[in-house]
Structure 1
Amino acid sequence: MKRRSIMNIVTHCAEGTSFIKSKDTSAISHTGEVIFELVDNAIEEVGAEHVVQVKTDNASNNMAGKALLLEKRPNIFWSSCATHTINLMLQGIGNIPRFKKIVDQAKGFTIFIYGHHRTLECMRSFTKKREIIRPGVTRFASQFLTLQSLLDKKDSSRKMVVDAKWENIKETSSKKAKEAYDTVLSVRFWNGVEICLKVFEPLVKLLRLVDGDVKPSMGFVYGELLKAKREIKEAFKNEELRYKEVIAIVEKKMRGRLDAPLHLTAYLLNPHYSYADSSIFDNADITTSLITCVEQFYHGCDEDIHDEEVNIEFTKFQRKQGLFGKKMAKNCVNFDYNPG
């Protein structure tokens, strides 16, 4: 299996995720045409009437496949993978020098601890056998979880490196050990860990939401991105000079990927947001996105259907009429979307 390229096709719906098929593409070029044929054949097998959207990452060959599919099946949406996009945000933020330095210091400390069985044994004796390293859904999520775990064990780690048990370990006389010692006793390092966590946490929470199979997340992606941006700004006490570089990365990565008409429409039609904040109904960009999605989804259909969806059904939703006025619908404002 080494160096083989395997493309997997899966379906996702409210009931969960199901594997459809895989294809070994090691011997062929991954062109837009190849991607298109693979996706189109899968749609044919499942039944086009059952498919609303296709999700891939934003690679150029996938976007070429998207264009070809749009020509053949203009009523099917093709969206960028939210997990991939949010991971790119975390990667970009993690590469900002002030954050990268903290992550590298934490990495250096954990590598030294886990690189020697005696230091690892020592650490476990001070943390009551609780590990520092914690795996996440992606490498950057793992970095966040490890920083979080390290902060939880701040006191025990600081006690460890000044204890006689640590000094009696042969490996603690090395240069790497001195760096680990300086890191864990540095006030600046721990302050940096705290700000890193405040910046990363909103995006990691969203990453867990979109990467999980427990609940469909499409209706929450855009709204939670807006919330994440607010929380990141608050982490910097709303001082633009401090947060603008981070927010610029988030906005650059989401542009054209997680703010497409389908995302905005899902945001608009989610009572969790629009029933809690009626000003969303007055946002021209968002309501225009609804019209765009209706036109695409009902492509080729009679215009009366477009009119019914936009001017009748949507109006009922906005005014909370009919079933939308039921207690269950109104309670969606307080819906628990937390991935756990």
Structure 2
Amino acid sequence: MRKFCARFILMIVDASPLHLAILGLLVAAMEAGLLFAAATYENTLFIPEGVGLLQNYGVFSSLFGDVLILMLARLCFAQVVLQLNGRSSGFQVRRRRLREELRAHLTLQTRLRFVLYFACLVGFLFGLYNIGVHLLGDPKTVWAGDGFFDESANPLGFAANRLNGFISWAVVLPVAAFFCAVTFYMFYRIADQGPRGGAFYDETHPDDFGGFFPIVRAKVFYSIGLSVVFFQIAAHVVTFDASAHHYVVIGAASLMLLLEQIFSSGFTIDRINMMRDRRLQRLSRAVARGGLSETATLYFMRAYAEHGCRKRQVELYGQALRVGSIGAAFLLRIAT
């Protein structure tokens, strides 16, 4: 099982984001075709006082939102590869060791594999709960509506939407969570190398972030992906009245946001800023000794100012995305 999962992970890593998006859209189109055919055959495209296929915004947000989430997670992970392979100042000494460590994570040889296993287990259990509500309980007590296109009385729609749910909960979201976990853990390891590991802040790097700007891009991709998750939740809340499992998903997404803040902003960015401050102190001492010209001093001062401005801009952008995505649920609910 582990070898199969590792091959699947490596297949996604080897695929370009464009090819991944095309494959994802083809799978989403296939799922949409199955759902539409089932609903057409069973006459459940629209259900008066109920939720037909074309009345269920959550289904379509999952179909095409999952493609975007997986692609964004892949782009987020690509920033680690770029950091290790690009002209980045930080790890000339231990770069090869970090590459080997990254490979071990991707082949599920480290403890990070439990992130994938746990996420798959949660998604699988969530799917079982959903099936149990339809087969053993009354879905009308959980979701608002007088009839659903995917209830057990409509076997084709039931089977098609359970397949859609399995792909989303047990495949796409766990894999995306695993890629993000690997990304931010590796960035933490990179920034934690310190001077002994060859990590240092390069104030002359063209990215205006000391050679560590890929982590900022990773944060942006992660924020956009999490915004898509919140939008999916909003689409489900608009379709149905908010229920207990909606609050569970909101809590899980909020936990992912908190963990990203702890590991990227709390640990990694702080270490990069510490390297920056130490470098600034050394340059200040060199200026005091007359070891730098006035032109060089002004250049380094401008580089550090740009670093601070770039960091603040990206942080504000990420916060705006998160607040906007959470607010979308309330705005859409009010509008409907």
TM-score by length of 1: 0.30
TM-score by length of 2: 0.31
Between Structure 1 and Structure 2, which shows a larger proportion of strand residues?
Answer: 1
Between Structure 1 and Structure 2, which shows a larger proportion of helix residues?
Answer: 2
